[in-house]
Chains A and B, each alone.
Chain A
């Protein structure tokens, strides 16, 4: 089985966020870490490989040069094929999905964190599945890898299991049962020398066409630049009205 794990990375919350001129925080190499969802996706891939030694894992880490350090951390999990992929518009779900679709090749199973690159929207994984024309299974919590590979998510009153019998895109959420293992020291040291390929838009294959009609998002002159910080007081109704007024103002 060929597994592709797509890694978004997040800013390490132990550091204060320092916005750059465009209002977005700097993704410095020493401040990028795996998100809990990235970690769970990786652990699920590793458990499948533990049980099926013929499994090949490829990992792509979103970002440019700043992501190489994080890519080496992924390589330290004894994943030989790790590359970075520079996404042109990190906050545009549709653009992300299109670009990622171009690198999914013939993966039998695509695993990615449920919040890949879009805060809590969780739109990129299903968009990617739509573009690839593959089934989508969201919020995976557990893998059962002895024998057939089965993915599980909890619904309100039951568990839902998917047997991976055909290529599928799955988003993964964090769960204490899939906490990422620590790398072996020998692999950490070998990862320091690992070759990390850097993919850019120019090197990507053409993204598949068709599938979902993706709306995506567009750049917006945000409220951050237009509205000074203000203390909102009064009753809850007054506060709600004040916030709504600010949002309306920001949207103009």
Chain B
């Protein structure tokens, strides 16, 4: 018997395993697929940390307090502040812990959804998961079993979770804890229909294992759920390109978003989750990010969501020497698009956007830019559901809670399977950040009990 059983081999699962082994515990990690990595490995590799050495080196003044304020604002205060506070208090130590484990960070720090200052710390996400796994396995205290799916949780006579029931074979037991890190449910049509019917026409990109099985197993034991009404897609996915899963966030560099009628439909600086909601309400569930050469040149090829040059090479941008010609390419009335851009430029000059109250490039950061220098670019954009951002209610020690607030003894959860942290929307880097921070906290909590 091991001390801890971890269900799921993504960033949260391997973080939990590493933290538990560092505390001297033995771990059995179950991964139902042949390879670990999960949705984490498919992600954009962004982590939201505040107060890091990388930020300091670039003169970025950030803090746990500012991160807390931003997370609560972008979550529209629907999120569990205690959980957000736990993240903010643990994130800087987790950043250092990741580096100590061998995770490499890009020196580039960018600003994206929901951030008042640049705090997107970028990693190769698949490599990060591999690094966490290697560090955990180097302890000699981890047994890794790929291809083993947990079907149910096993309780003792007192109701304490003491193990899991695999699809075949005997029950597996963990003396101290079972940590669910099995991901979300973006690959489960039944759960999506139940919780996110408004996204029926959206693009779904998630790990094949994101079936919601961990959520269902815990729910069967009376676990409470949080934020289920806030499943959202990310704005910026090219709707007809099937080779590139990542979104593009030119709006945060100054582009405007227009619909197929050529009209703006949203304040482009808000969270890309809310932009996702907005674009799904437009004709054909599609919009276009419109920018000029000046904005295009601010792209950054070291950050996937801002790598405009690569998308241009992939043929995903429409480009024209005039707004009228660009409108023709995307089958929008040229007069309408020209009028939209002209009025927007007027708002930039006046410092007041009476239509959508846009004041910054992203959240509270960056001055707006005019769209005026040819050539002009259009990037077709719809919403893509990368993750479900809701699920099991946990406390700040990652214990799974019932609706009355009591903890289910022996049961912990971390990563995408959990709810309460994001609230109504989402900050770039907070999903992968949540995975590593709460994965680490869960492993530490299992050791501390």
Flag the segment in B71-79, B191-199, B233-241 that touches A. B233-241
Chain A residues with CB under 8 A of B315: 179-182
Assess whether B240 is in contact with A189, with CB atoms less than 8 Å apart. no
- Label chain B's interface by main secondary structure: loop
Assess whether B240 is in contact with A186, with CB atoms less than 8 Å apart. no
Assess whether B240 is in contact with A184, with CB atoms less than 8 Å apart. yes
Q: Is B285 in contact with chain A by the CB < 8 A criterion?
A: yes
Instruction: Closest A residue to B320 by CB, please name it.
Output: A50
Instruction: Closest B residue to A186 by CB, please name it.
Output: B284
Instruction: Closest B residue to A73 by CB, please name it.
Output: B240
Chain B residues with CB under 8 A of A179: 315
Assess whether A185 is in contact with B380, with CB atoms less than 8 Å apart. yes
Chain B residues with CB under 8 A of A180: 315
Distance in Å: Cβ of A196 to nearest Cβ of chain B: 19
Assess whether B286 is in contact with A183, with CB atoms less than 8 Å apart. no
Which of A50, A181, A182, A189 is the one whose CB lies under 8 Å from B284?
A: A189
Which of A183, A186, A188 is the one whose CB lies under 8 Å from B283?
A: A186
Q: Is A78 in contact with chain B by the CB < 8 A criterion?
A: yes
Distance in Å: Cβ of B279 to nearest Cβ of chain A: 10
B274-315 with Cβ < 8 A to chain A? 283-286, 315
A76→B242 CA distance, assembly (Å): 15
Distance in Å: Cβ of A189 to nearest Cβ of chain B: 6
Distance in Å: Cβ of A144 to nearest Cβ of chain B: 16
Distance in Å: Cβ of B312 to nearest Cβ of chain A: 12
Assess whether B330 is in contact with A184, with CB atoms less than 8 Å apart. yes
Chain B residues with CB under 8 A of A187: 331
Chain B residues with CB under 8 A of A185: 239-240, 260, 284-286, 380, 382
Which of A50, A76, A188, A189 is the one whose CB lies under 8 Å from B329?
A: A50
Assess whether A182 is in contact with B382, with CB atoms less than 8 Å apart. no
A186→B382 CA distance, assembly (Å): 12
A229→B286 CA distance, assembly (Å): 52
Q: Interface readout for B383-413 with A: 1 if CB under 8 Å, 0 if not?
A: 0000000000000000000000000000000
Q: Is B172 in contact with chain A by the CB < 8 A criterion?
A: no
Chain B residues with CB under 8 A of A183: 240
Chain A: residues with CB nearer than 8 A to chain B?
50, 76, 78, 179-189
Chain B: residues with CB nearer than 8 A to chain A?
238-241, 260, 283-286, 315-316, 318, 328-331, 380, 382
Question: What are 12 inter-chain pairs, A to B, with CB distance below 8 A?
Answer: A50-B329, A179-B315, A180-B315, A182-B315, A184-B331, A184-B380, A185-B285, A185-B380, A186-B260, A186-B286, A188-B239, A189-B284
14 extra interface residue pairs, beta carbon distance < 8 Å, beyond A181-B318, A185-B382: A50-B328, A179-B315, A180-B315, A184-B240, A184-B331, A184-B380, A185-B260, A185-B380, A186-B283, A186-B284, A186-B286, A186-B331, A187-B331, A188-B239
